[in-house]
Structure 1
Amino acid sequence: MMNDSTLAKAIEKAGLAGASAMIVDKDGTRFEGAWGKANAATGAPMKLDTICQIASMTKAVVSVAAMQLVEQGKLTLDGPISDVLPELADAQVLDGFADDGTPQLRAAKRPITLRHLLTHTAGFGYHFVQIEILKYLQATGMPAPGSMGNYTLPLLFDPGERWEYGVGTDWVGFAVAAASGMTLGDYLQHHIFAPLGMTDSAFRQTLPADAAAVHIRGQDGALDVLPVNLGAGEVQSGGGGLSSTAPDYARFLRMILREGELDGQRIVSAETIAEMSRNQIGDIRAGYMGTSMPELAQPFDTFPDQHTGWGLGFLINPDAIEGRRSANSLAWAGIFNSYYWIDPSEGVAGVFVSQLSPFGDPGALDCFETLERMAYA
């Protein structure tokens, strides 16, 4: 077992309340640990199996669910997604604002597909990432997506023409529910969580009393608890609503490493995993997130020196990183500073879970890099 003192020191230096982390390979766990507090106010310790909000790490799970339904012929990657989600039949593109602030809309040039949604090329944004979406919500009085179950935003561009991070995977979740005839939570429980032994993963309207709190730094640098639960909305958010644990998510990562199978349970075919792991967006660059609300998320770009791509649910780095992941590894993150990577070439993956806002915290990113370097030392 690896020595955790280096990571423990990094977590302390970063000023995180607490964190849990694991490194796994195809056969099991190489490293695991938990440090600090799950709740800075109560002093409750962070444990390996402490339930945390994994936010946008939900996206990879829901992407796999969609691909199960593609395998069954219940969804198609390139047919109009309006066949199952008629709300998206007449998508509108935001073409700027009039002098009085009125949004200017036009019809999209082509239909939105599941492939567009899975690759963040459908045109959808997030109100906390793109200022145009925030201006649109302010101009129309429309609530932010998720707060009232509304996700019908205009597109920022025509489908397939750019990469922008947004609510596309929430629409993937709606498509999974529509095509399966189940709620998204029930579908994930029956077809992913139960087969994989992910016993602590769910959409939770109420978090358990011993779940980790989300923290924010006060002006004096002390950690305050932020009362937030992304799973408490009216909609089960395929883009960010799950709570889970490091061991549960590590089982999901091992399934990806094992090309769709874990402990005799086949979740998707090896061919599907290969397709999900392949860059799907050609010459478009993926991965850069700006910010319109830095109190929620800092600007983020995992590898600014690489022309990063996107698969069916994952960021892909085309070049190897010295001392870290191989070329064509898969990765993404959650808004409360949780991160994962999957390296199919080396057969290793890791997950780092903390609960701190805003996203992109430099200390948390240093901790994640420390964990990753431990895997390759």
Structure 2
Amino acid sequence: MKRSILAILPVLLIASAFQLAVSTNKYKPAPVVTPEVKTRIDATLKRFIDSNKIAGVSALIFENGKEVYFNAFGLADREANVRMDRNTIVRIFSMTKPVTGVALMTLYEKGAFQLDDPLSKYLPEYADMKVFTGVDASGNIIVEPAKRPITVRDITRHTAGFAGTDIPALADLVKKADYMNPANTLAEMSTKLASLPLQFHPGDQWAYGPSVDVQARLVEKLSGKPFDQYLQEVIFDPLKMTNTRYVVPEKDRPRFAALYNRSDDGVLTRVPEERANGFNTKDWALKPGGWGLTSTLDDYMKFAQMLVHGGRSGKVQILKPETVKLMSTNQLSDTITKRMWLPSKGQVGFGIDFAVRTKLPATKEENNGTVGEFFWDGAASTLFWVDPHNDLTAVLFTQLMPFDKVKLHKSFRDAIYGAYNPAEK
């Protein structure tokens, strides 16, 4: 008996050590970004430049709290021959949304609201909303009362039902309301938006729209501070995000990347300055929650690193770990079957201002990633994600419109994780 115990003792010790490592969260999976992976990422990104699919691209990856990859290829400004760099300032468009979500959830932690509170409790203009049902023979809008109020949760997960432009009758009203005019304050934006009928009953569908701009207005109302000031004090200053802002100052504009449009036949054309830079070179009244910020790779990585580490960056605690977990948990029930283009992101649900990966890719054509990852992207083909399983965060910057028709995101993900093979599931 003694011999048999001695024989298995090493196995028992190894098993106990493994269990202890897991229970104390010290066990880590094998590194993702190996030297071979770095070479693969380089080759992938360079190929997009060499094929003239994009003008410039940069990427930054952290794993286990350390930088494991950075490189930049091509030009931030092709006409001025300015190279893409880690200090290049880009328009992050909808990657503004997760920043707004974090700002809102700092107020949630203070007890300022509950997710299932009616939005009208704080923004009265959203009381007694009506829902579009069609038009009569004379072309007049037909509406009915909303089945339930819009909740705060609805505006964090895009289920509020705000009017879009895909229905002609509503598109005309949206155009006339002009609620996103940059001369509007957030308060004016919200009042104009609330005057429009909803496109569907709250909670019935997932439809991308101005929900996060309404979140920004809610932050203002609950905090008593201008939205951009709240971002600065609560997120940007504590995280030392010194290059993230709505307005790019004159001294930093040489670092501001040009914006390019790719035609269907593959020709890259610079977007005219007044259209590309008109919002970010003037201090407009509107500070949107859904778009409008500019940033650098390192700045946005600080934000991503805070998220992967449970709301903490060094000694700075922006959110509690349980709040980050809540934000990165799918909030869409199976009854919400109409989800606009969200399924194009892969096997995902939606949390609080992030897409959340719920399953591995079903086909090799889908974007790769890990279950539990949360992410979002921007109209100029920027991308970031947080992979808690591997303690990995990635930020990818380019300035290309329309959104990622060249499949840069899939290629970048495949370069990191390896091309997905359904047979290995």
Shorter-chain TM band? 0.7 to 0.9
RMSD (Å), alpha carbons: 2.4
Give yes or no for contact 1:250–1:351 (8 Å, CA) kept in 2: yes
Q: Given the superposition, is the C-alpha separation of residues 135 and 353 from structure 1 closer, same or farther in structure 2, using an over 3 Å criterion?
A: farther
Is 2:397 the counterpart of 1:353? Answer: yes
Q: Secondary structure at the match of 2:238?
A: helix
Instruction: Report the Cα distance in structure 2 between the residues aligned to 1:241 and 1:139, rounded to whole angstroms.
Output: 24
Is 2:298 the counterpart of 1:264? Answer: no
Is 2:360 the counterpart of 1:315? Answer: no
Bigger mean CA deviation after superposition, 272-281 or 20-29? 20-29
How far did 1:72 drift?
A: 0.3
Q: Given the superposition, is the C-alpha separation of residues 262 and 80 from structure 1 closer, same or farther in structure 2, using an over 3 Å criterion?
A: same
Q: Given the superposition, is the C-alpha separation of residues 102 and 255 from structure 1 closer, same or farther in structure 2, using an over 3 Å criterion?
A: same
How far did 1:94 drift?
A: 1.8
Instruction: Report the Cα distance in structure 1 between the residues aligned to 2:316 and 2:337, rounded to whole angstroms.
Output: 35
Correspondence for 1:214: 259
Q: Given the superposition, is the C-alpha separation of residues 196 and 96 from structure 1 closer, same or farther in structure 2, using an over 3 Å criterion?
A: same
Which one has a larger percent helix, Structure 1 or Structure 2?
A: 2
What are the within-5 Å matches in structure 2 for residues 84-95 of structure 1?
84-95=122-133
Report which of the two structures shows the higher radius of gyration computed on alpha carbons: 2
Is 2:238 the counterpart of 1:195? Answer: yes
Bigger mean CA deviation after superposition, 90-99 or 348-357? 90-99
Q: Given the superposition, is the C-alpha separation of residues 260 and 96 from structure 1 closer, same or farther in structure 2, using an over 3 Å criterion?
A: same
Correspondence for 2:20: none
Correspondence for 1:251: 302
Aligned residue among 158, 162, 170 for 1:120: 158
Q: Given the superposition, is the C-alpha separation of residues 14 and 78 from structure 1 closer, same or farther in structure 2, using an over 3 Å criterion?
A: farther
Correspondence for 1:170: 213
- Residues 9-54 of structure 1 show CA distances to partners (whole Å, capped at 9, x for unaligned) of 1343352111221112241221112221222332222221211110
What are the within-5 Å matches in structure 2 for residues 148-159 of structure 1?
148-149=183-184, 150-151=189-190, 152=193, 153-159=196-202
Q: Secondary structure at the match of 2:131?
A: strand
Unaligned runs of 5+ in 2: 1-34, 419-425
What are the within-5 Å matches in structure 2 for residues 223-238 of structure 1?
223-226=269-272, 227-229=275-277, 230-231=279-280, 233-238=284-289
TM-score by length of 1: 0.87
Correspondence for 1:289: 341
How far did 1:249 drift?
A: 1.0
- Residues 333-370 of structure 1 show CA distances to partners (whole Å, capped at 9, x for unaligned) of 111111122211121121211112212x322x3x2223
- Residues 119-163 of structure 1 show CA distances to partners (whole Å, capped at 9, x for unaligned) of 101112543xxx12x542425751544125335143211111211
Q: Secondary structure at the match of 2:203?
A: coil
What are the within-5 Å matches in structure 2 for residues 72-87 of structure 1?
72-87=110-125
How far did 1:266 drift?
A: 0.6
Give yes or no for contact 1:102–1:139 (8 Å, CA) kept in 2: no
Q: Given the superposition, is the C-alpha separation of residues 180 and 286 from structure 1 closer, same or farther in structure 2, using an over 3 Å criterion?
A: farther
Aligned residue among 17, 34, 54 for 1:16: 54
1:216 maps to amino acid: N
Q: Given the superposition, is the C-alpha separation of residues 259 and 161 from structure 1 closer, same or farther in structure 2, using an over 3 Å criterion?
A: same
Q: Secondary structure at the match of 1:195?
A: helix
Give yes or no for contact 1:196–1:251 (8 Å, CA) kept in 2: yes
Instruction: Report the Cα distance in structure 2 between the residues aligned to 1:146 and 1:346, rounded to whole angstroms.
Output: 39
Instruction: Report the Cα distance in structure 1 between the residues aligned to 2:146 and 2:110, rounded to whole angstroms.
Output: 29
Bigger mean CA deviation after superposition, 234-243 or 99-108? 99-108
Give yes or no for contact 1:286–1:310 (8 Å, CA) kept in 2: no
Q: Secondary structure at the match of 2:47?
A: helix
Q: Given the superposition, is the C-alpha separation of residues 34 and 138 from structure 1 closer, same or farther in structure 2, using an over 3 Å criterion?
A: same
Instruction: Report the Cα distance in structure 2 between the residues aligned to 1:126 and 1:136, rounded to whole angstroms.
Output: 7
Unaligned runs of 5+ in 1: 291-299
Give yes or no for contact 2:375–2:384 (8 Å, CA) kept in 1: yes
1:228 maps to amino acid: A
Bigger mean CA deviation after superposition, 320-329 or 2-11? 320-329
Is 2:379 the counterpart of 1:335? Answer: yes
Instruction: Report the Cα distance in structure 1 between the residues aligned to 2:339 and 2:45, rounded to whole angstroms.
Output: 26
Correspondence for 2:80: 42
Correspondence for 1:294: none
Instruction: Report the Cα distance in structure 2 between the residues aligned to 1:28 and 1:342, rounded to whole angstroms.
Output: 14
Give yes or no for contact 1:339–1:351 (8 Å, CA) kept in 2: yes
Q: Given the superposition, is the C-alpha separation of residues 141 and 198 from structure 1 closer, same or farther in structure 2, using an over 3 Å criterion?
A: closer
Q: Given the superposition, is the C-alpha separation of residues 154 and 241 from structure 1 closer, same or farther in structure 2, using an over 3 Å criterion?
A: farther
Is 2:43 the counterpart of 1:5? Answer: yes
Instruction: Report the Cα distance in structure 1 between the residues aligned to 2:217 and 2:270, rounded to whole angstroms.
Output: 34
Provide the aligned length of Structure 1 versus Structure 2: 358
Give yes or no for contact 1:26–1:254 (8 Å, CA) kept in 2: no
1:120 maps to amino acid: H
How far did 1:331 drift?
A: 1.5
